[in-house]
């Protein structure tokens, strides 16, 4: 397993340093950055799946060679494997989750506004009730509270 992982990183490092890194950095080409972003997302998903399934399928013949061939396919500028997988599987999944997240956010804002409106209405009603009560009733209430405090001391 460690040989396969080492080969993944070696192939990636050589490909990265050879052409794309110097080209992307010098030209500041957004397409190069996007290509590598897609590769690293697919490679991270592959590594996660590999960590889980490796113990179950490592006994298959040519397993490690197939993993190396898969990484080469991902990196190849001719096959554009990482771009194909990203555009067919990852991007649609992330886009659908983004729509759900946006709907959840809109719902949260809607009910938050409703809650604030109810709280503001209750505060205004309470303030109006205090302002509309006769002064004599407020005086009696205050007198009752102060006499209760004096009795307790």
The model's confidence at residue 106, banded by pLDDT at 50, 70 and 90, is confident
Note whether 89 and 49 are within 8 A (CB): no
Predicted confidence (pLDDT) at residue 127 exceeds the cutoff of 80: no
pLDDT above 60 for 120: yes
Structural tokens at position 55: 């113990």
Residue 67's closest CA among 46, 44, 92, 89? 46
Tell me which of 10-14, 79-83, 87-91, 144-148 is least confident: 144-148
Only one residue has tokens 């991270």, namely 44
The confidence band for 11, taking pLDDT boundaries of 50, 70 and 90, is low
Give the pLDDT confidence score for residue 88 in this predicted structure: 92
Question: Which carries the bigger pLDDT value, residue 81 or residue 77?
Answer: 81
């Amino acid at each position: 397993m460690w040989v396969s992982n080492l080969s993944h990183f070696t192939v990636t490092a050589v490909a990265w340093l050879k052409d794309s890194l110097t080209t992307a950095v010098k030209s500041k080409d957004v397409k190069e950055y996007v290509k590598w972003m897609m590769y690293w997302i697919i490679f991270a998903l592959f590594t996660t799946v590999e960590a889980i399934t490796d113990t179950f399928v490592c006994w298959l013949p040519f397993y490690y060679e197939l993993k190396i061939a898969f990484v080469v396919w991902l990196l190849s500028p001719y096959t554009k494997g990482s771009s194909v997988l990203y555009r067919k599987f990852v991007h649609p999944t992330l886009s659908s989750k983004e729509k759900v997240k946006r709907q959840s956010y809109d719902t949260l804002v809607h009910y938050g506004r409703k809650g604030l409106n109810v709280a503001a209405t209750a505060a205004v009603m309470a303030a109006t009730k205090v302002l509309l009560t006769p002064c004599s009733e407020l005086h009696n209430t205050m007198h009752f509270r102060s006499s209760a405090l004096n009795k307790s001391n």
